[in-house]
Amino acid sequence: MASTSTQSHESFVQFGKKHVTAGLGRVVDAVLTKGEGSYVTLGDGRKMLDFTCGIGVTNLGHCHPKISKAAADQCMKVVHVQCSIAFNQPYLELIERLLPMMPHPSLDSFFFWNSGSEGVEAGIKMARAFTGRQNIINMQGAYHGRTMGAMAVTKSKTIYSAGFHPLMPGAYTLPFPYWHQLGVDPSTPPSELSEMCLSQLNLLLAQASAPKDTAAIIIEPVLGEGGYVPAPPEFLHVGKSKGLTPAIAYLHGLREICDKHGIMLIIDEVQCGFGRTGKNYYTEYSGVRPDILLSAKGLANGFPLSAVISRKELTDKLAAGSMGGTYAGNAVSCAAAVASADAMKEEKILDNVNARSTELFAALNALRTDADAAVARAVLDVRGKGLMVAVEFASPTGTGPYDRFADPAVPAKLASRVAARCVEKGMLILTTSVYEVVRFIPPLNVSKEDLAEGVRIFEEAVREVVKEGKA
């Protein structure tokens, strides 16, 4: 089985199907043997345009030369420095790189772990330690991970927790300002969506989790698995009500409510952070101050690393040994992250994100007003920020009999069928959420030409599947 021929590739695939845990899903039954830039090569010889980035991880493309070299060089110095024994130099260099990238200057204390889920676990631990309280308020549609604490605050799909209860106690769910979940028209102003959800937060604090029992509110400022839905700035921070409710001159967002009650605000930017949305962190768009910021995925461009970032005045309250982990802040991963941060700056990655984002939104929005009425009817929404973009399709059944956006005239399972057709045409792309959503996660340094090719493939797939009609 050492060969990479087509014949041995099939043997590898069958071997994997037999011995890899069934709890793992796959987009393709294939072995990915090589990655370079925006493309991957499979063991059967297929070369695919990759608009998944390993779910937002290889943000600067596969095997970025500068990042891979930094990791390889570090491997010849020291691979593992256990964080409870000594500092490692790349760990400290990474803090130097990240400090000026922080969305708020108060974020000056760093703990590096391995994954986004572990980062969430650490954030919950810290919030409980800082406040002496237990309860955590999470968002409807949120994804924070599959470990026990992270799973308890994940509300995007039941598949992640079905059969694994009881979960961590003290988790309460708040509606997120997303029109489909709230059952309101897609054109509803963001301030009105925010007002609805903030009203529900006040009710939750009055009816379910008293402020004195509430340690933190955790939020993805752009829902990831929940459908790539950006939180309106006024939901996160104070903002004008724009006359929606005359009695309310301003919406007092999560930050103000947390400050009023001594609740920690945990901002999970595991997926939407580190350049994905056109700024270093999406939080910059609102100016909100996190008490704890979580970062991972693209941080080290494929090497396992997450960051749990807070204020020194808070983290000084933690007892030595209360945080840690065998591989936490691995030297090789940190060296890769240092190189990633340098490449982001040297290669003007944010400029590329914003330029390509404009092109992507223009192309996808054109489908909403397409001359083919069946295509236009099938596209419910185009949303996101930067190069974290989603298309939501209509569904003949929706999520059930009370989904007011169900449309019997459109084909079923549009998202999964379009994604599968894209794979047939040579592009990897992912669906997401309980709705019919396809998400675009191309590399942040994707070229104008490769983006245009990805859009062409997607548009072709949409037209073909809509024309085919019912599956």
Q: What is the pLDDT of residue 52?
A: 98
Q: What distance in Å separates the CA atoms of residue 126 and residue 120, rounded to the nearest whole number?
A: 10
Domains and CATH numbers, the chain: 6-60+348-468 (3.90.1150.10), 67-346 (3.40.640.10)
> For the chain (length 471 residues), average pLDDT per consecutive 10?
68 93 92 96 96 97 98 98 97 98 97 98 98 98 97 96 95 98 95 96 98 98 98 87 55 92 98 98 95 98 98 97 96 98 98 98 97 96 98 96 95 97 98 98 98 98 93 59
- What is the Cβ-side half-sphere exposure of residue 314, based on CA atoms within 13 angstroms? 27
Report the number of secondary-structure helices (H) and strands (E) in the chain: 16, 17
Q: How far is CA 43 from CA 1, 8, 9, 48, 58, in A?
A: 12, 9, 5, 11, 20
Q: What pTM did the predictor assign? A: 0.95
Q: Which residues contact 188 (CB under 8 A, 6 or more apart)?
A: 179, 182
Q: How far is CA 285 from CA 43, 234, 250, 282, 288, in A?
A: 42, 11, 18, 6, 8
Neighbours of 123 (CB within 10 A): 31
Which residue is listed with tokens 């988790």? 171
Strand partners, 440: 389
